[in-house]
Amino acid sequence: MIEGVITEPLLQFPDDRGRVMRMLRADSPGFEGFGEIYFSIVNPGR
């Protein structure tokens, strides 16, 4: 573990096409003044 790094489970929005995961939003601990961060995964063939 790296000192000062905060880990949290990602909120996930899955369906048959893939999933979207929210990493950070304005009310998250450690928020320092920018918008939200999301990641997405698209299943093959979608």
Please report, rounded to a whole number, the percentage of residues in the chain having pLDDT higher than 90.
39
What count of Cα atoms within 13 Å lies in the side-chain half-sphere of residue 5? 4
Predicted pLDDT at 23: 80
Contacts of residues 4-7 at CB distance under 8 Å and 24 or more positions apart, as own/partner, are 6/30
pLDDT, tens digit, for every residue of 2-22?
998 888 888 899 999 999 998
Q: Is the pLDDT of residue 32 over 80?
A: no
Predicted pLDDT at 40: 94
Can you read off the two tokens belonging to residue 19? Answer: 């999933």
pTM tops 0.85: no
Cα separations (Å) of 10 from 14, 20, 45, 46? 12, 10, 25, 23
- What are the sequence ranges of the domains in the chain? 1-46
Predicted pLDDT at 5: 85
